[in-house]
Structures are given as structure tokens and as C-alpha cells.
């Protein structure tokens, strides 16, 4: 509990001279649009912020008045004048993303509005109230672009200062609210609820009070609700040093789908692209605005009307340009899209889908520089097998080979009839196409589409999925890698430059494949977990937990080889070398080997690796060349 001693202050109108450029960056400002530093230009700064998207929130009795507090770090230069935006819509996620069709009513028939009772920026312990057209509150109407705050000028905000944004808002019980943020409570973010606004104001004197339990659910998981607050269109004026400022078009690979809240770093960054841009290396932290979300596809971006509308975010930027003296709030475009542009025909993938949004971007922002990030690969961690048996010994024949398998490792078998063949079994590799395992016994041969899954243990076991055949060979089958080749070659002006992801992503033992668990840092248990296989435990103690982050699934194997799997658990939190997990009853002896998974298994046939888990995010960011950021300079 932290006592609140500061007063709420109104706006001031302080101005100071420009500060010097970031060390080593004196050549950047002369290359920027407009000739360098421009203290009167609004630029995107809220890199923790995100575009509104996700599942609508319905207000419940007793908590239909809300206070959502998010924490946004300021850039690496002094800022002093701010402008924030409240959206009147959200984008859907998934196959129709980024269409802006998550609304409180139905498309074409607006639903309930949301009443913003007050918005404060808390900076260095002082609350500054934002206004809307001179008023302290505002009504945000469904299926509109939303509402802007007036300019908020404060005393100079030093570089890398955490700015807390406190939004008080309400609707009637049973009414709906557009989704934006999963709160990151380990960073001091909170969500409070009550049946009136006055009950919430007391939290201003106790900023770290626990969130309201009924609202604070699903932490660190996809099921965690997303609460309303100022969106990604956060603007600031100040002593900009000329560094690039990015408007990023992203999908679930860039706007991380497998890191939700607990995995965020100290500055609130989730996923590899946010962490790469925000890393304090190369030319420094790059401010950005990501306007995409999981599922976004180029062919649907910045286009459409009615039930297919995806132009409100574009129009909000047009509003910025109008009050920004005709200047963009960014200096360069990052295009990370491509994953969801897939097609069985490469011409459709590249020309009809991927390049369609490039064309719209160039039309909307004439002369803008586009820097593309090629998509990551997709591989299958299962192989199709046939099964026969004699007594209790099953023999598997693998037409695609047993490369990557080892005797003594666990495989998961699924899809067989009789079902006794199915389950997790320790195998013995016989030859290049055969392995055996012991089971309860059943009729022979087994029938069905039978698959053997190693959970991503060894990259050599992975197979390339449809349109992901490696290397690019000029056929439709290698579509994703053809797209990478065309991006790097800047074919048909699809980009002006590219920052490649391949070398930072790829396995060290197989080209075009995800790293296997054997390539990641492992650790061992230093104390037994579990007692009798019945009682559940929720902590494991390991030799070195510093390798991992919350939300990371762990596969735990028998020591010392680390091949026979005992349990799979997900990290909830870490304290020293004690890892709190989602729990298990399986007894784990001292010396059990802990291995992190690269990505979740998605779809049933094939089971593919697509979205990076925290260990893979760190793998990518750690290997990407920070010197490549100079390509973002226009």
C-alpha cells in the first residue's frame, strides 16, 4: 500500500528548449521528414499501448463502474504535451481480423455508449486531469472513431518515465464495453470495479491496492478479460531527437498471441517485435504504434465498409494529421503482415493479398518508407504412422522416417483404433523407418489416421507444412519462403527495405524449422515435487529459473537424459528458483530435467508450431541484429 500525498493538478503550459540527440544519433535528425527535431509535432509514443480488439466485456452488477489503470513508459527523450484517444469500437480477432466489428450493438445499429467519467495521467506521483472539449467527462458512442482528449501539457517528463493512465468509466448493468487491455498487474496495472464512481476515487490514494477479484481473472492466459482504456493512438510532443517513430501493421506473430500479460517485461512489452523495437540497443528504443492484432490479414487491412469495415483506425490517423499541422505522427511504416495472407497459389498470396495493403499504404501516405519483416515458418511436429502389434509390443512404421527420434524418449500417439494404442509411450528406435513401444495390447493392425507427436523435442523430427516447404523453390509449395525472398528482394516495390527474421528464428540443426526443446536452455529439479501421485502441488524448485518467464509451458522429463516425459506444466510466476505452475500431481524426482516449449501445438492435423512462447520470443530478440534498426531511418 502506497500513500498518496500529491495533488491533482490542472494543465500547465511549460516549454523548454530542445535537448541534445541520443548519444551516437546525431546523424538521424537531418534525415527525418521535416528536417529534424520538431517540438510542435505530435508523435506516437505509447509503445505499451495496443489497438482495441478481442472479446466484448459485459458489465455485471456491483462492478459496472470501472477504473482501469495502465502504465505506459515514455520514450528516450523529454516529453511534455500529450493527447490520448478513447475508441468507440474494437477489431475482431481471428479469420476476419482486423475488421472493426466488435461493437456494443450490431453493425449498422449502434448499441450502448460508454461514459468516461474522468481520465487522469499520473506522472511522478502527480495526477493531471485530462479534458474532452473542456469537460472532465465524455460519452463515447458505439461504432464511431471515438473521442480525443484536449492537449495535456505537464512539466517536462524525463525520458523513460512510467506514465499511469487512470480511466474511470461506466455503463449500465448488462451493457457492453469494447475490449482493449489485459492488465499487467506485476507492473502496477490494475482494474477496479464498484457500483458507483465515488467508491473508485479512493484508489487514487492507494494506487497499488489489489484489483477487484471479480474482474481480475484469468491472469496470464488468453481468457483474461480485456478492459477499456486509452488505445494505441497515444501522442506526445517534446524534445524529439529525430529517431524513427513507427506505425506498425501486424498480426498475431508481431502482436504476440502467446504472451498475454504476466510475461510482459518491465516496460510492458509482449512478443518479439515489440521487444526488438523497444530494446535499448542499436539506435535506441524506437517508439511505435501497432494498429494490428491477432488474425490480421493484408487483404482486409485499411479497406472495407459495413460488416467488413477496417478503416476506422486509418481515419483516426487522418484526424491526427488534421490537428497535427498536416504531419504524420510517425516517420516510417513497419509491415510484419504475411502470415495470414496464405494461399495455395503464391500469386494470390503475394500479389492479391500481401501487396494489396502495401498499395493502400503508399496511397494513404505518399512517399513513406516501408520496412518489412518477413514471416516466421510453420512446421509439423507429428508424423503419420501405421501400427501393428504382437501381444503387447506395438510396431510403428514411419514412411517419412524416424529422423529426430531417440530410444528412451516419449512420443504421444493419437488417432488409432483400438484406442489402447493411443497415449504417451517411451519408444525404442529400430531403424530409419520403425520404432516400437509397449502397450496394453489390441487387434492388429490398428486403423485410423494415426499420428506420432514428439511435442517439439527435436527439430529434426519436424516436417514442413503446406506452403512452408523449405527452401523457396519457385513453387506454390514454398509460398512462405518465396514471400521472404520477395520481401528481401523488394519485388514489385512490396517494401523499401527489410529486416530479416530467419537467422534469429531458425533451428540450429534443421533449416526452415523451429528450434526443438533440446536447443533451449534446460534446468533440473533440486527438490522433489509431489508425494503420492494424487495430491496436487503448484511449485517446483529448480537449479536456475532465470532462463524462463511466466506463461511459459514446461515439459519435465526423467533425468539425467531428459527424454522420457513425466509432466507438462505452465509457469504462473517465478520467485528466485521457485516456479509456481498451473499444478500437477505427478511425482517429479530430484534431477528431473525441465525443458521449455517453443510454441503451442495448433490444429490437429498437422500439429504446427506458429506462435512463439516466451522462450522463443527471447531466442528471436536475442539473435536479431539491433544494428538493422538503422533501416527504419527514412
Model pLDDT, residue 604: 79
521-597 belongs to CATH 1.20.1180: no
Query: Per-residue pLDDT averaged across 398-416, rounded?
Result: 98
Residue 399, burial from CB neighbour count under 10 angstroms (0-12, 13-18, 19+) = exposed
CB 249, CB 288: distance < 8 Å:
no
- Is the confidence at residue 18, as pLDDT, over 90? no
Residues 493-536 pLDDT 10s: 999 999 999 999 999 999 999 999 999 999 999 999 999 999 99
Model pLDDT, residue 11: 35
CB 382, CB 452: distance < 8 Å:
yes
Model pLDDT, residue 603: 84
Query: Per-residue pLDDT averaged across 465-477, rounded?
Result: 95
Lowest mean per-residue pLDDT among 32-46, 111-125, 335-349, 535-549: 32-46
Model pLDDT, residue 238: 96
Grid look-up 523548454 returns 16
Model pLDDT, residue 256: 84
In this prediction, what percent of the chain has a pLDDT beyond 90? Answer: 93
* CB contact set of 87 (below 8 Å; sequence gap of 6+): 52, 140, 145, 146, 178, 180, 231, 312, 316
Comparing CA positions, the residue from 305, 316, 314 lying closest to residue 101 is 305
Residues 210-254 pLDDT 10s: 999 999 999 999 999 999 999 999 999 999 999 999 999 999 999
Residues 596-606 pLDDT 10s: 999 999 987 88
Q: Domain 382-453 belongs to what topology?
A: Elongation Factor Tu (Ef-tu); domain 3 (2.40.30)
- Is the confidence at residue 9, as pLDDT, over 80? no
Domain ranges of the chain: 37-330, 382-453, 521-597
**The domains spanning 382-453 and 521-597 adopt the same CATH topology:** yes
Residue count (the chain): 634
Model pLDDT, residue 19: 34
Model pLDDT, residue 34: 33
Phi and psi at 246, nearest 5°, equal -105, 135
Model pLDDT, residue 37: 82
- Is the confidence at residue 490, as pLDDT, over 90? yes
Query: Per-residue pLDDT averaged across 149-170, rounded?
Result: 98
Query: Per-residue pLDDT averaged across 99-116, rounded?
Result: 98
User: Interhelix angle for 271-278 vs 614-623, to 10°?
Assistant: 40
CA distance 111 to 273: 35
CA distance 424 to 565: 8
pTM tops 0.85, yes or no: yes
Average pLDDT, the chain: 94
Amino acid at each position: 500500500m502506497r500513500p498518496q500525498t500529491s495533488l491533482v493538478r490542472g494543465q500547465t503550459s511549460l516549454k523548454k528548449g530542445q535537448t541534445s540527440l541520443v548519444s551516437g544519433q546525431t546523424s538521424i535528425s537531418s534525415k527525418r521528414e521535416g528536417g529534424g527535431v520538431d517540438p510542435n509535432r505530435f508523435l506516437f509514443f505509447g509503445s505499451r499501448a495496443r489497438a482495441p480488439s478481442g472479446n466484448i466485456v459485459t458489465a455485471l452488477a456491483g462492478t459496472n463502474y470501472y477504473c482501469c489503470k495502465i502504465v505506459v513508459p515514455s520514450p528516450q527523450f523529454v516529453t511534455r504535451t500529450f493527447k490520448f484517444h478513447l475508441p468507440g469500437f474494437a477489431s475482431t480477432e481471428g479469420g476476419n481480423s482486423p475488421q472493426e466489428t466488435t461493437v456494443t450493438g450490431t453493425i449498422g445499429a449502434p448499441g450502448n455508449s460508454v461514459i468516461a467519467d474522468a481520465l487522469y495521467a499520473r506522472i511522478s506521483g502527480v495526477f493531471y486531469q485530462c479534458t474532452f472539449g473542456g469537460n472532465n467527462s465524455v460519452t463515447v458512442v458505439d461504432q464511431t472513431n471515438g473521442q480525443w482528449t484536449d492537449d495535456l501539457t505537464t512539466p517536462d517528463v524525463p525520458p523513460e518515465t512510467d506514465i499511469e493512465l487512470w480511466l474511470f468509466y461506466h455503463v449500465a448493468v448488462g451493457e457492453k464495453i469494447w475490449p482493449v487491455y489485459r492488465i499487467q498487474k506485476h507492473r502496477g496495472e490494475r482494474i477496479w470495479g464498484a457500483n458507483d464512481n465515488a467508491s473508485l476515487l479512493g484508489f487514487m490514494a492507494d494506487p497499488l491496492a489489489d484489483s477487484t477479484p471479480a474482474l481480475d481473472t484469468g491472469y496470464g492466459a488468453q481468457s483474461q478479460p480485456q478492459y477499456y482504456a486509452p488505445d494505441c493512438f497515444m501522442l506526445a510532443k517534446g524534445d524529439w531527437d529525430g529517431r524513427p517513430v513507427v506505425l506498425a501493421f501486424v498480426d498475431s506473430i508481431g502482436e504476440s498471441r502467446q504472451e498475454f500479460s504476466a510475461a510482459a517485461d518491465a516496460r510492458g512489452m509482449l512478443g518479439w517485435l515489440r521487444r526488438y523495437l523497444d530494446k535499448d540497443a542499436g539506435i535506441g528504443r524506437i517508439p511505435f504504434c501497432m494498429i494490428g492484432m491477432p488474425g490480421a490479414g493484408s487483404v482486409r487491412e485499411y479497406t472495407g465498409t459495413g460488416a467488413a469495415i477496417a478503416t476506422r483506425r486509418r481515419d483516426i490517423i487522418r484526424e491526427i494529421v488534421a490537428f497535427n499541422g498536416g504531419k504524420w505522427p510517425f516517420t516510417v511504416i513497419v509491415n510484419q503482415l504475411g502470415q495470414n495472407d496464405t494461399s495455395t497459389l503464391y500469386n494470390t498470396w503475394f500479389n492479391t493479398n500481401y501487396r494489396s495493403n502495401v498499395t493502400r499504404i503508399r496511397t494513404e501516405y505518399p512517399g513513406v518508407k516501408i520496412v518489412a519483416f518477413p514471416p516466421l515458418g510453420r512446421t509439423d511436429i507429428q508424423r503419420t504412422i501405421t501400427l501393428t502389434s504382437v501381444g503387447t509390443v506395438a510396431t510403428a512404421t514411419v514412411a517419412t522416417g524416424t529422423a529426430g527420434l531417440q530410444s528412451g524418449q516419449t512420443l504421444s500417439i493419437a488417432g488409432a483404433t483400438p484406442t489402447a494404442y493411443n497415449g504417451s509411450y517411451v519408444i525404442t528406435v529400430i531403424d530409419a523407418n520403425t520404432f516400437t513401444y509397449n502397450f496394453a495390447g489390441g487387434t492388429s493392425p490398428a486403423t485410423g489416421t494415426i499420428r506420432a507427436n514428439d511435442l517439439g523435442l527435436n527439430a529434426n523430427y519436424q516436417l514442413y507444412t503446406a506452403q512452408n516447404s523449405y527452401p523457396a523453390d519457385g513453387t506454390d509449395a514454398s509460398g512462405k519462403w518465396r514471400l521472404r525472398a520477395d520481401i528481401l528482394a523488394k519485388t514489385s516495390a512490396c517494401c523499401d527495405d527489410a529486416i530479416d527474421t530467419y537467422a534469429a528464428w531458425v533451428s540450429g540443426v534443421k533449416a526452415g524449422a523451429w528450434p526443438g526443446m533440446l536447443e533451449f536452455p534446460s534446468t533440473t529439479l533440486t527438490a522433489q515435487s509431489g508425494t503420492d501421485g494424487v495430491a496436487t502441488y503448484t511449485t517446483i524448485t529448480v537449479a536456475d529459473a532465470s532462463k524462463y518467464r511466466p506463461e511459459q509451458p514446461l515439459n519435465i522429463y526423467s533425468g539425467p537424459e531428459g527424454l522420457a516425459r513425466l509432466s507438462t506444466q505452465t509457469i504462473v510466476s517465478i520467485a528466485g528458483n521457485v516456479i509456481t505452475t498451473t499444478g500437477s500431481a505427478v511425482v517429479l524426482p530430484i534431477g528431473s530435467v525441465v525443458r521449455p516449449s517453443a510454441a503451442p501445438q495448433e490444429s490437429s492435423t498437422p500439429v504446427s508450431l506458429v506462435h512463439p512462447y516466451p522462450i522463443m520470443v527471447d531466442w528471436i530478440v536475442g539473435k536479431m541484429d539491433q544494428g538493422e534498426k538503422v533501416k527504419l531511418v527514412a
